[in-house]
């Protein structure tokens, strides 16, 4: 497979592209995207290419293009385009030739750098350096710097740049064209408003020119077109002479918490004022400020250090942490993380169980404040979850499979891609019947509580989520006269290649767990927190709910492992389906290959899984199943799993590590890393894979580091891959920061906070730690 990627500068925290191909733009645009949780800027180039995707998304600014469509994150105006005409020739790497090409993202500083020497078709040689940041310090700021040097000839250069609001989401225009304005012939401002949610976007931008340290004003003219405002500049350079262009822009919306209460006019003034002060700082100082914020708020607090025979292992986890930061809206609890972060149009910016099950653990163990904010988002969406339950004739909170703005409720699109057999579009059933998400969210609340002990969160938000999801499950259960048990029929479990199944093991066990936890907490608060109990009783009728939980819980059908081989049925019919040779698809380099031969209806009738399903159950409720059962099911299901979902490999990696198969676990980690970082130049075209990126952290800390919350307790059981000499990282547990350093001989745990004793399990024993412990590792385990 053709790849342009280069990871040889891993020590410098750099991911790079070593050559340019305008047919292969999308991967780099996504994996090198910049952001700060407020906005995500895809790393398209300054000049334009036919196959580019220019995206600027502001988290939480959802809009519905048409009443028949679901809400999505609209693509904001393009601020980064800077086009050059050099001696009359449009600059593009598709014309002429180039040498010394590099495009690099420095993960440590969040700076993008692109450089090359372009030889125009007329033979003019120009040295280009492009730098760009989205500031982590001031979340509204984007800054660019371009250094241009004439090498062999005098150059007349025309530069076009401004704000381009002609962007769409694959053709859907989410904005009405608004006011455009030049201030002092220098500052451009462009306003557009979303058509349905009425959010005003204010984009403001300016360009400055320098020769050496001296600024100069080139001859310029200004243009205002439909949905576009820009300037044209003329500059001449003598051979050997260089110039620098700095473009500073900012983005504000009327949805931003820091803009609440401002009129549009006030918002415009604010944006302009802030732009002037950012411009006065200049690119280098803005980049420096942002890099400092990366160091202080990300790397100093949660750096993971891996000493491996392969430098890529370290680079990959830093890449994951970089993306986790830029995809997460730290600034606002009214929004969550999209399945593609904010790096592409994929999944419309919607949030799935990906956040709670695959990403949240990273925050629970490294930044509990942020984890809490993400859970508060789910609390704030309870009205939509309750509405969804009512619309489906259930009670309680039925969380949407896909979630967007707080009041939106379910936003999963109803129609998907074409069916190769019928030629018709395929119906997406997840929004109707992929229901395990309600229990997944309750589980995440519990995991957060166990790891932090945050009682105030539980009293205010957590109990209510756990109770109301349990109420949903009791209303969802279906009684069978035949076996006198309750069943959950007609669902999609985690394995989305099985639709309309009954008794999906993961769903049933998680629903059971949810009800059991609700009962435990109900008992607890009734006895210990009367005020909380009475408040929630009033809202949820806890007394009535409890009676129903008591009546139904132990009659829920929970699939059991088969006597003969320990295999648990993934659902009622899975083990009876036709078993075909999957070797062709297991070897696939691209996901979804099977759909070139079968449609979903046919796949539904085969023993083939898209992703971890039963394995997810063993992963989340690991204390309930023996290692023998886990192994038996691994041996049965893994060969039938195509890992066609990016959520699959990391879970398998963690379980392989638990099972003691280090080589397999390491191999699965590498494969999980390659979902975004691998050879395939198209794998990330719609955006990075947020859950898989969270999963990379899980591979290391849960898998190789062996850190887990099991039944409410901290357990540490490291198993390093053969190629690793040492692994160290910091986790937080109940308010104490713990630094773990693991090598083949020993595990050292330091309580960096040292204020309270931490209890943890290791090697079947309970340890207490106040300051530092050194434990010998039995590396054969
Ligand atoms: O949530 C996942 C799901 O498990 C598999 N399909 C893609 C979704 C979004 O990542």
User: What is the per-residue pLDDT across 541-570, written as a single tens digit (0 to 9) for each?
Assistant: 999 999 999 999 999 999 999 999 999 999
Residue 589 has a CB neighbour count (10 Å cut-off) of 10
Six token digits for residue 121: 């078709």
User: Which ligand 1 atom sits closest to the C-alpha of 691?
Assistant: 10
Chain segment 50-86, per-residue pLDDT in tens: 999 999 999 999 999 999 999 999 999 999 999 999 9
Q: What is the pLDDT of residue 603?
A: 96
Q: What is the pLDDT of residue 143?
A: 99
CA distance 133 to 136: 9
Arithmetic mean of pLDDT, 599-606: 95
Q: What is the pLDDT of residue 368?
A: 98
Arithmetic mean of pLDDT, 257-262: 96
CA distance 464 to 460: 8
User: Which ligand 1 atom sits closest to the C-alpha of 647?
Assistant: 4
DSSP 567: P
Chain segment 315-348, per-residue pLDDT in tens: 999 999 999 999 999 999 999 999 999 999 999 9
Chain segment 160-171, per-residue pLDDT in tens: 999 999 999 999
CA distance 453 to 458: 9
Helix axes 505-528, 437-452, angle to 10 degrees: 50
Q: What is the pLDDT of residue 302?
A: 83
Which residues line ligand 1 at a C-beta cut-off of 6 Å? 339, 347, 352-354, 494, 496, 645, 647, 691
Chain segment 169-204, per-residue pLDDT in tens: 999 999 999 999 999 999 999 999 999 999 999 999
- Which of 496, 497, 591, 651 to mutate for ligand 1's pocket (most ligand atoms within 8 Å of CB)? 496
Q: What is the pLDDT of residue 81?
A: 98
Q: What is the pLDDT of residue 756?
A: 97
Indicate the length of the chain as a whole number: 781
d(CA 428, ligand 1 centre) in Å: 12
d(CA 444, ligand 1 centre) in Å: 17
- Which of 497, 592, 645 to mutate for ligand 1's pocket (most ligand atoms within 8 Å of CB)? 645
**Would the pLDDT of 2 be above 90?**
no
Q: What is the pLDDT of residue 1?
A: 63
**Would the pLDDT of 779 be above 70?**
no
Q: What is the pLDDT of residue 176?
A: 97
CA distance 449 to 196: 38
User: How far, CA to CA in Å, does 101 sit from each of 52, 94, 401?
Assistant: 18, 13, 43
Q: What is the pLDDT of residue 421?
A: 86
Q: What is the pLDDT of residue 680?
A: 86
Answer whether 381's CB lies under 8 Å from 406's CB: yes
CA distance 781 to 777: 9
**Would the pLDDT of 781 be above 80?**
no
User: Which ligand 1 atom sits closest to the C-alpha of 494?
Assistant: 4
CA distance 252 to 523: 47
User: How far, CA to CA in Å, does 69 sit from each of 118, 402, 406, 411?
Assistant: 44, 14, 17, 9
Residue nearest atom 6 of ligand 1, based on CA coordinates:
645
d(CA 505, ligand 1 centre) in Å: 18
State CA 534 to chain mean position distance.
38
CA distance 246 to 769: 53
User: Which ligand 1 atom sits closest to the C-alpha of 347?
Assistant: 9
CA distance 266 to 270: 6
**Would the pLDDT of 113 be above 70?**
yes
Q: Give the model's confidence band at 780: pLDDT under 50 very low, under 70 low, under 90 confident, else very high.
A: low
**Would the pLDDT of 517 be above 70?**
yes
Q: Supply the residues annotated as catalytic.
A: 496
**Would the pLDDT of 496 be above 70?**
yes
β-pair type (82-86, 89-90): antiparallel
Residue nearest atom 4 of ligand 1, based on CA coordinates:
494
Residue nearest atom 7 of ligand 1, based on CA coordinates:
645
User: Which ligand 1 atom sits closest to the C-alpha of 496?
Assistant: 5
* Average of per-residue pLDDT values in the chain: 97
Q: Give the model's confidence band at 591: pLDDT under 50 very low, under 70 low, under 90 confident, else very high.
A: confident
Q: Give the model's confidence band at 16: pLDDT under 50 very low, under 70 low, under 90 confident, else very high.
A: very high
**Would the pLDDT of 355 be above 80?**
yes
Six token digits for residue 13: 């925290």
Chain segment 276-285, per-residue pLDDT in tens: 999 999 999 9
d(CA 645, ligand 1 centre) in Å: 7
Chain segment 389-444, per-residue pLDDT in tens: 999 999 999 999 999 999 999 999 999 888 888 889 989 999 999 999 999 999 99
Chain segment 696-746, per-residue pLDDT in tens: 999 999 999 999 999 999 999 999 999 999 999 999 999 999 999 999 999
d(CA 646, ligand 1 centre) in Å: 8
């Amino acid at each position: 497979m053709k790849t342009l990627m280069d990871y040889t500068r891993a020590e410098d925290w750099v991911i790079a592209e070593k050559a340019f191909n305008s047919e292969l733009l999308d991967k780099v645009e996504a994996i090198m995207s910049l952001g700060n949780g407020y906005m995500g800027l895809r790393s398209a180039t300054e000049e334009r290419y036919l196959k580019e995707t220019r995206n600027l998304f502001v988290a939480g600014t959802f809009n519905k293009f048409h009443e028949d469509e679901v809400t999505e994150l609209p693509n904001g105006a393009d601020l980064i385009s800077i086009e050059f005409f050099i001696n009359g020739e449009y600059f593009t790497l598709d014309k002429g030739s180039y040498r010394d090409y590099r495009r690099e993202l420095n993960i440590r500083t969040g700076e993008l750098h692109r450089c090359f020497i372009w030889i125009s078709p007329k033979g003019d040689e120009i040295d280009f350096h492009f730098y760009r940041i989205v500031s982590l310090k001031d979340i509204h700021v984007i800054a660019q710097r371009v250094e241009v040097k004439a090498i062999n000839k005098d150059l007349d250069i025309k530069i076009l740049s401004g704000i381009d609001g002609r962007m769409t989401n694959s053709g859907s225009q989410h904005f009405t064209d608004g006011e455009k304005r030049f201030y002092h012939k220098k500052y451009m401002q462009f306003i557009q408003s979303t058509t349905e949610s009425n959010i005003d976007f204010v984009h403001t931008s300016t360009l400055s020119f320098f020769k050496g340290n001296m600024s100069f004003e080139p001859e310029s003219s200004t243009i205002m077109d439909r949905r576009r405002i820009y300037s044209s500049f003329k500059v001449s350079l003598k051979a050997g002479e260089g110039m620098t262009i700095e473009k500073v822009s900012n983005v504000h919306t009327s949805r931003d918490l820091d803009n609440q209460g401002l009129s549009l006019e006030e918002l415009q003034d604010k944006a302009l004022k802030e732009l002037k002060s950012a411009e006065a700082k200049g690119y280098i100082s803005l980049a420096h400020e942002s890099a400092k914020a990366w160091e202080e708020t990300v790397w100093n607090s949660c750096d993971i250090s891996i000493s491996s025979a392969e430098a890529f292992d370290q680079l990959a986890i830093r890449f994951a942490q970089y993306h986790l930061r830029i995809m997460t809206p730290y600034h606002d609890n009214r929004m969550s993380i999209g399945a593609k972060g904010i790096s592409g149009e994929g999944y419309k910016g919607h949030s799935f169980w990906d956040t709670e099950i695959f990403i949240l653990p990273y925050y629970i163990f490294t930044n509990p404040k942020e984890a809490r904010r993400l859970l508060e988002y789910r609390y704030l969406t309870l009205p939509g979850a309750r509405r969804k339950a009512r619309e489906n004739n259930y009670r309680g909170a039925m969380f949407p499979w896909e979630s967007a703005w707080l009041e939106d409720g379910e936003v999963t699109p109803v129609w998907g891609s074409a069916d190769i057999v019928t030629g018709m579009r395929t119906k997406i059933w997840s929004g109707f019947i992929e229901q395990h998400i309600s229990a997944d969210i309750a589980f995440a609340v519990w995991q957060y509580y166990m790891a932090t002990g945050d009682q105030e969160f539980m009293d205010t938000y957590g109990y209510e989520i756990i109770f109301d999801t349990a109420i949903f499950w009791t209303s969802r259960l279906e009684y069978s006269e035949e076996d006198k048990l309750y069943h959950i029929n007609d669902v999609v479990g985690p394995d989305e290649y099985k639709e309309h199944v009954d008794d999906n093991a993961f769903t049933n066990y998680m629903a059971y767990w949810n009800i059991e936890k609700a009962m435990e907490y109900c008992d607890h608060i009734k006895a210990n927190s009367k005020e909380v109990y009475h408040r929630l009783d009033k809202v949820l009728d806890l007394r009535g709910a409890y009676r129903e939980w008591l009546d139904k819980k132990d009659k829920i059908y929970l699939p059991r492992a088969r006597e003969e081989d320990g295999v648990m049925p993934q659902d009622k019919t899975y083990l009876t389906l036709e078993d075909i040779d999957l070797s062709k698809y297991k070897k696939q380099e691209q996901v979804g290959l099977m759909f070139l031969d079968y449609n979903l209806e046919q796949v539904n009738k085969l023993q083939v899984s898209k992703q971890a399903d039963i394995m997810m159950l063993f992963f989340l409720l690991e204390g309930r199943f023996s290692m023998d059962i886990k192994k038996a099911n691994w041996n049965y299901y893994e060969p039938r799993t195509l890992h066609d979902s990016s959520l699959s490999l990391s879970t398998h990696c963690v379980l392989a590590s638990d099972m003691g198969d280090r080589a397999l676990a390491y191999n699965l980690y590498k494969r999980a890393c390659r979902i975004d970082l691998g050879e395939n130049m198209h794998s990330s075209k719609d955006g990075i894979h947020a859950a898989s990126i969270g999963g990379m952290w899980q591979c290391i800390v849960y898998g190789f580091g062996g850190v887990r919350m099991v039944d409410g307790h901290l357990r540490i059981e490291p198993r390093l891959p053969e190629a690793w000499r040492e692994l160290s990282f910091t986790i937080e547990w109940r308010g104490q920061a713990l630094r773990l350093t693991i090598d083949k001989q020993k595990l050292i745990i330091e309580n960096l906070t040292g204020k309270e004793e931490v209890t943890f399990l290791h090697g079947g024993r309970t340890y207490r730690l106040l300051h530092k412990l050194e434990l010998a590792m039995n590396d054969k385990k």
